[in-house]
Amino acid sequence: MKRKATGRRPPRISEKDHVRGSPSATVTLVGYGDFASPECGKTYRTVKKIQLKMGSRLRYVFRSFPQPRENPHSEAAAEAAECASSQGEFWEMHDCMFENQRAFDELHLARCAKGLGLDLRKFQREMKGHDHRAKLRAGRKAGIRSGVVEAPTFFINSRRHRSSFGLATLLPAVQAAAGGE
């Protein structure tokens, strides 16, 4: 059963967040996503197009929102992204996983890490030790307190985007928040 979403705002952006773009950008798009979700894979491509269109006017924040009931690999994928982040490669792993969304087993995640040139021993040690699980669970709880019940969910300048997530609806909403074209 899905819980009803509220109109609450997402937590403030902090140094714990994964951010692309300048803090002085005209508009901030916060996306809650699950690397293993096919719908989030579609919105990944949409966000990439929006980033190209908006350029320096957009700051994008990605927050992991694993949904293990929908996909048993979603938590491992989110942990892999955080392991990559500990080596300064979050966005590279983020892109690798969304661009290769076929499987998120241990072998696939290790291939992504190897392809990015990560220290594989450190990556595997952090994965086995679940070093980032507490951060991910705290982030998920914060998302739930903000009214996030599923991924993808977007906030534009702290306001929940309640329409579809296709380019035809999300881009105009972002552009409007930025003051139009």
32-63 tens-digit pLDDT: 999 999 999 999 999 999 999 999 999 999 99
Q: Read off the pLDDT of each residue in 138-157 and give the average, rounded to a whole number.
A: 94
Q: Cα separations (Å) of 46 from 2, 49, 69, 164?
A: 25, 5, 25, 11
Does residue 19 have a pLDDT over 50? yes
Does residue 26 have a pLDDT over 90? yes
pTM recorded for the entire structure: 0.91
d(CA 97, CA 153): 18
Q: What structural domains does the chain harbor? A: 18-172 (3.40.30.10)
